[in-house]
Every structure is written in structure tokens, then in C-alpha cells.
Structure 1
Amino acid sequence: MNTKLIKNYFLLIFTILFVSSLEAQVVVSGIISDIKGKPIIGATVVIKNTNTGAITNDLGKFKIEKAPIGKLILQIHYLGFETKEVSILTQQNKPLEINIKLLNKNENLDEVIVKGKTKAAIKRDNPIKIEVIETQKFKMESASVIDLVNRTTGIKIRQSGGLGSAVKINLNGFQGDAIRVFKDGIPMDYLDGAYGVGFVPTNTLERVEVYKGVLPAELGSDALGGAVNMVSAANKPGSRLSSSYELASFNTHRATLNLNLTNKKNNVFVGLESFINYSDNNYEANVNYVDPDTRNEIPIEVDLFHNMFRQHYIEVYAGFKNRSWADELKLSVTNFKFHRENQFGQLMQYPVGASYNEQIGDFVPTIRYKKSLLKKKLLVDQFLTHSKVKRISVDTLNGSYDWLGKFTTNNESQEPGELGSPDFTTLDRYNMVSRTTFKYTINDKNSLTINAVYNSYSQEGSNPYGEYTEGENPVQLISLPANYDKFVSGLALDSRLFNNRIQNSLQFKYYYSKSSGRSVDDVTGLVSAEEVGANISNFGFGNSLRYKINNNIKTRISLEQATRLPTQSEIFGNGSTSIANLGLKPEQSLNANISVDITNNKNLSTGTNLFYRYSTNMIASTTSVTAISSVYENLEKVRGYGIELNSTYSFLKHFDITGNLTYQSFRQKGHQEGETNLLDDARVQNIPFFFSNLSASANFEKILRRKDKLKAYWYYSYIHPYYLNKIPKDLEADGFLGLFGKSGLTNTELYIPKQNMHTVGFVWLPNKEKQFSIGFEVKNLFDQLVFDNFKIQNAGRSFHMKLTYTIDFNPK
């Protein structure tokens, strides 16, 4: 790590903070609220015919410094409200304070009229690099959250099959648990993966936020290189009922039903967030069939036959808002269950015909409390939950299936189990999460945020086929109690300087974890006779700076020393396919980002982002000494860099074109123990290093009816060939950046070929003033071969039809 560079960087930051305190101040300030007196966050207040203005903070307050003397006109803009102009008179040495109320404006949900800044725009203006996906704009399309995120610059979500299959997020070179997932700013550990990007329909979300490089202290987690925060549509004010139903190929059904009701005073609310996913996932795949007579492998195309997934998720909530004792108190209860059939193992080498997994959460309560104190200068946000999630893993078949679905019984010498060893695991996971956030507004320029997240995890279960302790009275290892406590805290100073031209976020973080349980010796393979434990304590820091050069150009620079603590699954295993390792060390990484965003006019915007990562003690799954189960170990040191480019162009009032590309080069430093030095500086395997997206859409009205509206769209995705396993660097393509030239590989099984996928579709609203739409979409239009995580083949061409309907109960 270059300590001199870091010292100079922070010296620059502190210099900027100091210089800002020397500014002279001629101030116009006040509060922007709605007609009920509720503060409006993110409203734009500008002095007419000038570039001088401000944005309201979390309390609806604004402050314009260095306002001219004399008669002025203030213009106030905010999405969904009438634009307002107010005449004021300013005088020398006499600060002016004025409070303004905005009127609601009737607006169709299918139209996007930007007057001022939406919450998404405010997020994009953050000093931390954030990609914001406004999912409500795509809720009428048959697009999953994975589809939307994969069209975003710099990120790919990998799937091991169809709907409901395991997912792995890859963001700027990091993947898996290095990228944390949140819902409304809360870590999703307590639902044990049941609410994730692979399951949640777009209709239930307002937006998805992708954080790159630096994670804000207010999220309060130990992500190594970024995070995905899914913001629920239930947070939108007002009363409404929204529903959707999607029917697609491979007997796929996806339905949502969301309800939010408030009283006339808007201080009592109840609601429901629910969805159902089902798919047979019986798409065609190219496999190697073993001829029972000759034992030769024959490439054939078959329909997958044991790949079904079904899931339901129901969250019921109620609470109070805008009371003297609470800004918001929300109580919720969640029930969920999913059932996943296993068609194959980690690789698509041989079929599985009976194994399955289930995950059940019968009753998961949560409580969230928000309150403003000290004359609304201090905001308190407390979240608390205690969950129990049951995991079931079954693989006890006394025989095997071939790719044609033919069953063969095992002989007497063979054990049951299709995936290598028998498994009948029932695992109860208990998780208590407490997240506390304090945000104190020091003045109009500075605020201080303190966040602390405590997670207490324990598990116990049974698996008669799993590991046993040594001694006269052996017991199942997984039946012994295992405990894991994790504490992550953050302190952030956020500043707005030079009339909001500079925004800065300076952060310090502390990480602590404590684990206890039984472990397996990595040499003998024996279970330890006594309980063992491990403590981890570490500090981190980060800073993000955004500089607004002018109204059209913004630049960001960020630096963070990040830490990721091991997850409970990595430490304790799952009782069947992976075993415990309580000695895991945390991953650490130095992350740096530099980005520039340019908006030449209302129709064209471009941006670029450069990033650098140096990571140590990377956690990876390796084969244990038993050669049956896997174990997580600290293995890799990884260093890499990358560049992202994106652009959006709108023209002729009807058409939009968006494109982006990402190049990233991540390589291990040297080689790992047990590897040959031929793998020095090898690329990290199973990660795409170049991919791009291109899309176009057109919006028309009065096509078939006087009030109808039609949107047609096309999405294109390209992934350059990449490597399934580590290969010597001199065998890579010898052209520029490895993108051109000829590879020295002769074994085509070691790389994943290039992929081109086209999606086309349309959405039709018979009456644009009503909230009903019909959508039709074709994914993978040209039926190309598509591969994903570990070269798992995904579905070919598929057809989707989607109906959406919303009833708005708000008075007009």
C-alpha cells in the first residue's frame, strides 16, 4: 500500500474542509414542505436566471449562500409537485429565512416528468459512485432484477441455471459474498438469501442502487467492494394496490400483489408485499451422454427434467407515521418458502434426478423506528429482528439417472447419493440483527452519521450422513451448537462546500467478530475434540469526493481500505457439501475509483469510471482432505484494474439509445501453494473481463386508440470469451488487452465462448390514464448458446407475456 499517496490524499481533503470555513456568507434559507407540512427532501431551489441554488436536505431545509442583493425570484422544483416561483427582497447583512409549501400535481405513473431531483437523482449526485436503476420505469416489461442489473455498467450477476438457481454477483472484479445485498438499507443476512436479486420481481421495487468501491457508513456492513440495495416500492407515500402476472416459456409463472393503505391524515398505514415464482426450467441443453453399452460420451441435446423451482414470499406490515413520538414505526412479519430441484452439481457434467433443497421461514418479525430529536437536527433509525430459517438438503437416492431420464439402481457396494455422498441435512439457523443509525446535522454544510450493526448467529441441525466427532460416543458435528457474533460500526462526516460544488464523505469503520464451535483439522481431517473459537478485530477507512466543475461536468474520486468478515456459511459450512473452518481470516482490499460524468444537454449524457483493487486473504472454496466435502480457506492475493464507459442519447422526443462497456483485468499475485509458477499473474478464473450492452427504445401515443401508449424496445448484450479455469498468461490471446489475437489454448473446455444475446419486446397501455398494461417480450431472440457461472448453460429463446394493473386510491 502506498502510505504516502494516502497521506497526501487525506491532507487534500482536510485542506478543502478548512478552506470552506473561510467563506463569506450572505444567506437565503428556509424549509420546503407539502400542503400538510411534511418536509420535501431533494427539492431544487434556484434563483431565477442564475446558476445559484440549493437542494433541500433530510429535513426539507435549504440554504443559498452569496445570494445577490435586491429583488429576486426563487424557483422551486420537485417531481410530482407544481413548480413555484416566489418573489423575495434581500438586503445587505440581513439573512432571509422563508418557508414555502408546494402543491401536488396530477401525474400518470407511466410518464416520467423530471422537475427538480428524484430520489434516484439525489443518489446519483452522491460523492460515492452509485448506479441507480429506476425499476418502476421497467415494471411493465418482462425484465427481472437480474436483467436490469446486467444491463448496468460494470456489473454481472451470474446464474447457475434458470429461475431460482444460485446467483453470484460480480462487481468490478469482486464476486459472491464480497458484494453485500440490502433491502431498504438493511443487510439481508437474517432472511438467509431468500430475498435476493435472483428472486425479487421488479414490480415490488422502486429502484436498485449499486454501490461501487466504497460503501457508505449508513449501510453498515462489511462488503469488500460494493453492494446492491433494493429499495421497496412500499416506501412510496399514498394508498395503492398493484399487481402483475407473467407467463413465460418452460412453464414459468411470476405474480406479484402489493398493497399499501394510509388514512386521511397519513399517520397510520398497513400493507402487503408478496410474490410467487414458479418454473419447470425444462429448457434444452447440450450435454455429454454416456452410452450404456460402449461407455463413450456422445454430445446430445436434451430437455432438463429435474430443474423445477417454486417460491412464495409474503410480508405483512403496519405502523404509524408523523406522530409526536415517532416519525415512523413499522412492524412487519415475513413468511417464505422455496423448493429447488437439483438437475446437476456445481458443473453440468452429469444429471441428478431426485436431490432437492428447501428453505423455510415461517415467522420472521421485524421492527423499525425513526424519530427526529433536538429540534430535528438528530435523526434516529433503529431496526431489530430475530429470525429462524430452516434449511433442508436431501440427496439419498439409491441409484442414478442418465440425461435421458433413465434410472439405474446402485449395486450393493455403492452408497446412496447422486452428488458424490449421501445427504439428509436439516439445519436451523437463528439470526438476530440490530442496526442503529444516528445522523446529526451540525450545520447546513456538515452532518455526522454513526452506524452500528450487531449480528448474532447460531445454528444446529442433523445429518446422519455428515461428519462425526471422534471418540467412544461420536455425535454428528452439525448437531453441536455453533455461534458467530459480528459487529460492524461506521463514522462518517458528510460535507457540502462551495455552494454545493464539492461534496465529501470521510469515513472510519470498525469490524469485530467472534466464533465458537467444532472444527475439522485441515491435515488429519478429524473433528476437534473440544470447542474452538476465533476473534477478529480490524479497522478501515475511506473517503469519497465529488466535485461539480460546472452544471454539465461532475467528477468523483474515492479511496477505501475495506474489510470483509467471513460469513457464517464460510465458517461453519452447511453440514453436507462443506465443512467448518473457524480459523478463516477476513478479506481485505484497497479500492480506488475515479469517475467523470458529462451532460452536454438534456438529450446526451456520458460517463467513465476507472477503478483499482488490491485484495489479500481472499476466501475461496477448496476440496477438503476427505475429497468429498469442500472447505473455505484464505488463498488468493488479487490485484486488478478496470474501466467503464457509458452513454445515453434521446432524440426526436420518442427515441432513447443507451450503451455501456466494461473492461477489467484481475490477476492473482504470483501463484498459490500447490500451483506451478506457470500460473504467476494468471487471470482470476470464471470472471468475464470484457462485456458490453446496447439498448434502444421508442415511445408512441395514439397507435390504436386515442388515449393509448406504446413502448417498443431492444436490448443487446455481449460477453467476450473468458476462462473457466486458471491458465498460464502466455496462453492467452496475444492481442491488445487480450481482446484480439489468437489464444494458445487447444482445450476448448477451459474457456467460455463469446456470447451475443438480443431481447425485443413492447408494452401497450390501452388507456395511458389508466394503470393497466400488456407486455410481450422475446429473450435470446436468435436462440444463441448462453453460458453462465462455471459454464452452466442457460435457457435459449423464450417468450414472455406480462399483465400489470394498479389502482391508485389517492384523492385527485
Structure 2
Amino acid sequence: MFKTLLQSCLFLSLLVCNTLGYSQERYSISGKLSDQAGAPLTDAYIYLEHTQIYTMTNQAGEFKLSAPVGTYQLVCSLMGYEKKTISIELHNDLNVAYKLGPDREMQLDEVQIKGKSVIEKVRESAYNVVAVDAQAMTNTTADLSNALEQASGVKVRRSGGLGSRASISLNGFTGRRVKLFMDGVPMEGFGDAFQLNNIPVSIADRIEVYKGVVPIEFGTDAMGGVINIVTNQRSNTFVDASYAFGSFNTHRASVSTGFTSKNGFSVLVNGFLNYSDNNYKVHLDKMLDVNTGTYVAGDYEVERFHDTYQNKTVMAKAGFVKKWWADRFFVGLTVGELEADVQNAYTMEIVYGARTRASKTLLPSLEYYKRNFLTKNLTARVTANYNHNANKSIDTVARLYNWYGDYATTRTGGESGTNTLSEFKDNNVSATANLSYDINKKHSIKLNDVITGYERKLSSDVPLDQLTSATDTMRRASRKNVIGLSYGYRPSKKWNVNFFGKHYYQYVVGPVDTVTVGNNSQYEEQERSFQTSGYGLAATYFFNNAIQLKASAERAYNLPSAQQLFGDEVLNTANTSLKAENSSNFNLGVSSNSRFKNDDVLYVDVNGYYRLTKDFIQRVQSARYGTVGNVNFGRVRNIGADAEVRYYHKNKVMVGGTLTYMDLRNREQIRDASSSVASSTYNNRMPNIPYFFGNADAAYYVHDIFGKNNVLSLNYNFNYVGEFYLLWESQGSSSTKATLPEQVYHDFSVNLSLAKGTYNITLEALNFTDARLYDNFSLQKPGRAFNVKFRYYWNRRK
């Protein structure tokens, strides 16, 4: 651990020394670049040869940079024009003007250049990755979790309406096996006020979904894959504001604005607010009689009455772009807060009427990115954040509720059986250092180091002897360090391969159940650490630039997360004795992106995978309290496939869809490690995990409606989830097996965009057939909902 910290400190020291090295007296070189006719040349590259000092011309063809006293070769370069090199002696400020002539070697009778989008480049990497264009959904009321479901192999599990807890299933791996990143920074400690279930999709430019094997740049212990949310990083001036309201008294508002000056100073602010009563109707087959404490069978339709949710968050960052010392340097601060009622546990049978939770987030951050760092072809990236979460869970009303809102007074301390007035602070820290060096066109290496830390502290003002026990005062802390090294070999444009290795380290301290006498547990504070290594490779090959074949394999580990180890003090219980999962992963995929003569495009992506996981971390439910916890569970094997197909007809029609099937089974032949009894659930499908699901969507665009530069779009989504088991499939008779039925639902929206997208209005009908939808231990989700959204967008550089 000390060695890794020393490496990170050395790297940061080099960064500081590099910056200080330019602190001597400097003189400016300013000027203007134009073509032979005198027209200004925009985005030309101006640099001092054999240095890291460079800039680019603005829209007026103007540029400015600075350097210490000396003799330099000033180079002006722009594609399509001849390169000009001028020798200058710098001992005072200079003001110059140059003209560039056309590059004769590039003058052809006819030339057509078609660049690749960032999304296309992501798809063409050696890793099994798909990219979702989030900007295409900015006029909808979708949050990031909704956008994710547009990717093949992804299923977002929700426990209810707006703001409900969401977990991600990616090719059969769920929960913390799938790691979330925002701009390459781990989101594990971002807090409940800033999560996928409440962040508007407008904050993102695209969402990258890496399935199974992931690049070492993320430096993570992900075993099921990585989801990287790439935010808007516009270096211009803009305003993007929206407001939406809809069913269940739901209100959503967001504002994004940015400003970039000519000298590269940049400010970006994002703010959003979400509110909902979540008072949608649910259907029950039995109702609790609070007077007798018994359930009465029947067909009940009731309205949720204690599920209000609200959160507000502001993200702000300021810094510089396109400077000689940094391509991007930003210091940021995210502030958010959340207040929510708790309507029910992880079962519909237990309902609460007074239980609440709250959270506040304070997250300062730092980002530094530089190409040609210290030397040519070396890229450096450093990120760091510290997240302080203040959380509160209140359950002090001694009542037993039913779904009508009726209640009876109980002798217990709270609705969950014990008094809970839990106030605690979660402190998370994360630091990443990444170096990438292109040795030449064929060979490259990358080094990445990620250090994360977590600590929970009790912060309640209530006397300890009233609402806490000795267990509550024990330390709860975790530290992780994942360091990775990769080597890339690209012998030609047709194929490339990446080899990588990772070293994992985790330290945990917390209460451990050591002795159980009857129903009483005895805990003691224990410390433990774990370290191991993993490895893998990813390769890709192109056939005639039209078909791409991908293959990857790895030996990976998933270190238990803070929530799995320590719970959330609300509905997730702790288990600090969890062990790391380990898995052997294999992936094979093929994709094609074909463009036809009429500019129609057909995109096809098909992937198959195999996973064998040991010490699988499984979520288990407590029927008595409705809570869930995590335990290590033997061996699990998963074989599956997913596919995505999309067809684009010019700029008028888009039709596409995704489909996922997986066979996730228990491969542990004995009941547990302490016995030799055969397991009755051997070869059963793993419970409470959908294994067959998909969606289809279509869009039709009408251009220049009601005037030039206006667009009317009609959008339809079809969603399907096959029947799956809630409990082990071998348990119960054919008529009593616990299953969730097949679910089919439809969404439709209409959007009118005026004046090149400046003014936008959207009408949505979600689940318009009012299908009954369930998830996560049969928790019911909202039925039919209608929304309207207004959006204003202004960009100075369109």
C-alpha cells in the first residue's frame, strides 16, 4: 500500500514540477492567421517546435501564447494548407501575421471526407463495448437509468417510482459487480442525492457500456462490466434549461450553462430538482387487518400514501481548456440533498406510514488532463474527489400499518421492530492517476492506479445509551487500491490486441458476528486485508472495414463495496465478513456498421459470453423484516448472448431494438462449505434475476414543419421482460412457485423542436396500456403516466 501511495505522490510531484518549470519570466506571441485571400483560418494549430507550448486560432484567426526568452521555431499547421515554420527570437512581446497557401498535394478533383463520431470510435475498440447517444434523449423526461436501458444486455431494476433505488443488471451481473463512473471517476461514493435514478439525461453526452472485460484506464475491480457516463464537456458558451411535470404530481427541472473565454477560462454549472408524490396505484392479493394482525385474501387496489421524494443538486466546476500546461484543468464542487419517505421494504406485505430517510452530499473534485505531458506521445490524467455524505434514517413511531393507511399501536420501538434514529456520515475519497504512452504507431503502454477509501461515523446528538449499542460505535472503514498495466499492439489498421494485468488490495475494519446464542448475536471489531492479481486480453479484427470481430478474456475480482459490507442503515443490512468474488470471463462478439449508397445505415452488434464465478455475492431477503443483505454463495455459471440492431433511413426514420438471453445457474453441488449434503438447488437458475428481456424503438422525423429549421418527431418504445423466478425454481409445486409473470409495456412521445432546437416541447405517454409492472422481489412500479416537458437551448457556437 505504501509503495502505491509513493508512486502516486511521485507522479503528482512531477506534475507540479512541470508546472513550476514555466514560472520564469515569459513574453507573449500574438497574431493572426489567414489564407491567401485574407480570410481568417479557424482552429489552426500554432506551436513552438520541440516544446509543449501550443494553442489554436479562434474564429477570427487570432492566437496568443507565451514562452520564456529564447530562439524558437514557430509552426502554423492546418489540414488542407501548407505548413509554415518561422524562426523567431523572443526577448519581448511579439505581434505577427501570417498567410497559409493551399497544400498542393491534397488538392484533388473531388474529395469527400467522412469523419467518425466518438460513439463509432468507442464501438470499434477491442473491448466489448456499446455506446448510447444520450444527447438524442435530451428532450425527454428520462434520467440516466432510463437511458441505460437502450443498451443491449442492460436491465435496470427499480424498487418503485421516481427516486426509488435502482440497481443495474449487465449480462447477468448485478449490483456492485457493475461499476459506475462519471468521466472516468468512480461513482461508488457519490451518495443518494446524486445517482442514476435522479440525474437528468441532459447532463450526459453519451453513456459507454463495457461488458465483462474492461480497460485498465478505469482501474476498477469491476467483474460484470463498467458504465461510464461522459458528461457534456463543451468548451463554448451555452444555456440549456428545462421543466417537466406529469402524473403522480411529478416535477423535474434542470439548468445547464457554460462559458468559455478566449483565453481558455471555462465555467460549467449544472443544477437539477426532482419531486414526486409517487402516489400511483398498486394491486395486492391480501391485506393486513391491523386489529387482528392477520392477512385477509382478496383483490385490492390501493394508492401509495407515504412515498414522497425530492432531491436537488448543483454541480459547478471552473478551470481552463487548451492551455500550454493543460488540455483540461478543472476544480469542481457538487452539492446535493435528498428527502424521502419510506413506503415499504423489499416486499409488498410490509408497509410503513411514518418512516423517512434523508441525505446531504458535499463533493469537491479535481481534474487534470494533458497530452504530450513532459514528452511527446505521453498523456497524463489525474482525478480526485472527496465526498462527504450526511445521512439520516428515522423510524421511531411504534405502529403497524396496512396499505389503507390504517394502523395499530405496537409495543416495539419502531415500524421495523426497533427504534431507529440513525445519523451517520459516509466519507469517501477517490484518486486516479493514469499515464498512456504511444511508443510508436504499433506499440503503446498504459499505467493506471486508483485508490479509494471509505469511512462511516456515527453523528447523532442522541445519547449513545438510548438508541445505540456497542456495535454502533465500532469503526466501519474500507480502503481499496487497484493498479493496472497494459500493453497494446496494433500491427495494422485491421487488427489490434491489448494485454493487461491488475493488482487488487483491500483493507476492511468493522463489527463481525463472532458468536450467536439463541437469537442474540455478539460482535467484535475486527480488521482484515486481502490482495491478489488478475490478468486478461482483448483483441479485435476488421474484415473489409465493414465487419468487426471482438474477443476478450480475463481473470477478474470484485471487492465488496461499502454498502455490501456496512449496509445503508435503512433496508440493507451489513455483512463485514464478505469475501471478494472471483470470476473467469470470456467474450466473443461481431458487429457491422454498413452505409448504403442512399446514405442509409445498418448497425448490427451480437455478443456471446461465458462467466464462472466463485464466492458469488448474493442478495438475500429477510421475510420477517423485509430487509436485504449479502452473503457469499458458492459457484455460479452464466452463459448468455445479446444483440442490438438499428437501421437509419437518411434523417427521417430510425428503427432498432435489443434482445438479451442468459442462463445464470447455481453450480455449487453441496449445500455449504461446512457440510457434505448435496444442494437441492444445484443447477437451478439464480432467483430474482430476469434472464430474457428486450426492447424495440422507432422514430419518425418531419422536417421544416410550420417553418424552416423546425422538426417534429414521433417516438415509440416497446419493452419486454420474460417470466422469471423470485425464489429457487426447485422449491414449491408447479402451482405454488414464486414467479413474476411476463411483462409487456409501451411508451409513446411527440416532440416539436423549433428554430434549430432552441425551443422544444415534448408530450409523453409512458406505459400507456397501464400494464402491471414488477421488479426486485415483486415490488410494483408505476402504471400509466403522462408527462409534458419544455426545454430551451441556446448555443453561441452552433
Which one of 659, 662, 665 corresponds to residue 664 of structure 1? 662
Equivalent residue for 2:771, pick from 773, 780, 784 = 784
Q: Is the 8 A contact 1:204 1:256 kept in 2?
A: no
Question: In the alignment, what sits opposite 1:34?
Answer: 43
Partner of 2:373: 373
Q: Match of 1:323, as an amino acid?
A: K
Say whether residues 1:507 and 2:496 are aligned partners: no
Q: Kindly indicate whether the alpha-carbon contact (under 8 Å) linking 1:463 and 1:478 is maintained by their aligned counterparts in 2.
A: no
SS at match of 2:141: coil
- The answer on 1:762 being equivalent to 2:762 is no
Write the distance in 1 (CA, Å) between the matches of 2:634 and 2:234: 44
1:284 aligned onto 2:281: yes
- The 8 Å contact of residues 574 and 629 in structure 2, kept in 1 or not, is answered as yes
Give the AA of the match of 1:179.
V
Identify which of 611, 615, 618 aligns with 1:617: 615
Deviations 1:261-282 (A, max 9, x none): 11023x1111211111111111
Q: Where does 1:417-432 land on structure 2 (aligned, <5 Å)?
A: 417-432=414-429
Structure 1 residue identity aligned to 2:735:
T
Counterpart-to-counterpart distance in 2, 1:627 and 1:775: 42
Equivalent residue, structure 1, for 2:321 = 321
Query: What CA deviation, in whole Å up to 9, does each residue of 1:196-219 have, x standing for no partner?
Result: 221111111111111101111001
Pairwise CA distance, 1:636: 3.4
| 1:173 alignment counterpart | 172
Q: Is the 8 A contact 1:468 1:477 kept in 2?
A: no
Partner Cα separation in structure 2 for residue 628 and residue 304 of structure 1: 17
Post-superposition offset of 1:695: 1.2
Once residues 121 and 85 of structure 1 are traced to their aligned partners in structure 2, the CA distance between those partners, rounded to angstroms, is 30
Residue 535 of structure 1: aligned partner: 529
Following the alignment from structure 2 to structure 1, what is the Cα–Cα distance between the partners of residues 701 and 259? 32
How far does residue 783 in structure 1 lie from its aligned partner after superposition? 0.8
- Residue-by-residue CA offset, 1:765-804 (whole Å, 9 max, x unaligned): 132x251111111011111111122111111110011111
Structure 1 stretches of 5 or more lacking a match?
1-31, 41-59, 64-71, 75-83, 90-97, 99-112, 732-743
What pairs with 1:265-414 in structure 2 (closer than 5 Å)?
Answer: 265=263, 267-287=264-284, 288-291=286-289, 295=294, 296-361=296-361, 363-371=362-370, 372-410=372-410, 414=411
Native 8 Å contact 1:758 1:782 kept in 2: yes
Return the offset for 1:409. 2.0
Equivalent residue number for residue 745 of structure 1:
734
**Are 1:392 and 1:425, in contact at CA under 8 Å, matched by a contact in 2?**
yes
Q: 1:643-674: CA deviations, max 9, x gaps? A: 11221123365211102211100001135637
For residues 39-438 of structure 1, the aligned pairs below 5 Å read 87-88=104-105, 115-233=114-232, 235-265=233-263, 267-287=264-284, 288-291=286-289, 295=294, 296-361=296-361, 363-371=362-370, 372-410=372-410, 414-438=411-435
Q: Tell me the distance in 1 between the aligned counterparts of 2:573 and 2:698.
A: 48
How far has the Cα of 1:530 moved from its partner? 5.3
Q: Is the 8 A contact 1:463 1:476 kept in 2?
A: no
Look up the match of 1:489: 483
Distance 1:643 1:346 in 2: 30
Compared CA separation, residues 543 and 798, structure 1 to 2 (3 A): same
Equivalent residues in 2 for 1:5-16, closer than 5 Å? none
Mean alpha-carbon deviation: is it higher for 131-140 or for 573-582? Answer: 573-582
Normalised to the residue count of structure 1, the TM-score between the two structures is 0.80
Contact 1:241–1:259 (8 Å) recurs in 2: yes
Superposition deviation, residue 807 in structure 1? 1.4
TM alignment of 1:372-771, pairs within 5 A = 372-410=372-410, 414-461=411-458, 475-498=469-492, 500-521=493-514, 523-524=516-517, 531-575=525-569, 580-602=574-596, 603-622=601-620, 632-651=630-649, 653-671=651-669, 673=671, 677-728=679-730, 745-747=734-736, 750-767=738-755, 769-771=756-758
Q: Which moved more, 1:589-598 or 1:184-193?
A: 184-193
Deviation at 1:495, TM superposition (A): 2.8
Deviations 1:316-354 (A, max 9, x none): 111122333333221011111111211111111132111
1:27 is aligned to none
- Report what 1:806 is aligned to: 793
| 1:282-339 C-alpha deviation (Å, 9 max, x unpaired) | 1011023234678423321011111111111111111122333333221011111111
Q: What CA distance in whole angstroms lies between the structure 2 residues aligned with 1:519 and 1:148?
A: 39
How far off its partner does 1:87 sit?
4.6
Scaled by the length of structure 2, the TM-score of the pair is 0.82
Preserved contact between residue 464 and residue 476 of structure 1 (Cα < 8 Å): no
User: CA offset at residue 568 of structure 1?
Assistant: 1.7
Query: Which of 766, 783, 797 does residue 796 from structure 1 map onto?
Result: 783
The 2-side partners of 1:558 and 1:357 are apart by 43
Deviation at 1:506, TM superposition (A): 1.4
Is the 2:350–2:626 Cα contact (8 Å) retained in structure 1? no
Q: Summarize the Cα distance change of 1:33–1:132 in structure 2 as closer, same or farther, 3 Å threshold.
A: farther
Structure 2: state its 5+ residue gaps: 1-40, 47-53, 57-75, 83-100
* SS of structure 2 residue aligned to 1:88: helix
Displacement after TM superposition at 1:468 (Å): 9.1
1:374 to partner: Cα distance: 3.3
CA 1:622/1:724 → structure 2, altered by over 3 Å: closer, same or farther? closer
The CA deviation string for residues 105-144 of structure 1, in whole angstroms up to 9 with x for no partner, is xxxxxxxx99411211111111101110111011112333
Could you say what secondary structure the match of 1:519 adopts? Answer: strand
Kindly state the Cα deviation for residue 440 of structure 1 after the two structures are TM-superposed: 1.2
Contact between 1:462 and 1:476, CA under 8 Å: does it hold in 2? no
CA RMSD of aligned residues (A): 3.2
Distance in structure 2 (CA, Å) of the matches to 1:788 and 1:682 = 20
SS in 1 for 2:135: helix
CA distance in 1, matches of 2:142, 2:574: 38
Q: Distance in 1 between matches of 2:179 and 2:465?
A: 33
SS of corresponding position for 2:189: helix
Give the match for residue 775 of structure 1: 762
Q: Which amino acid aligns with 2:684?
A: A
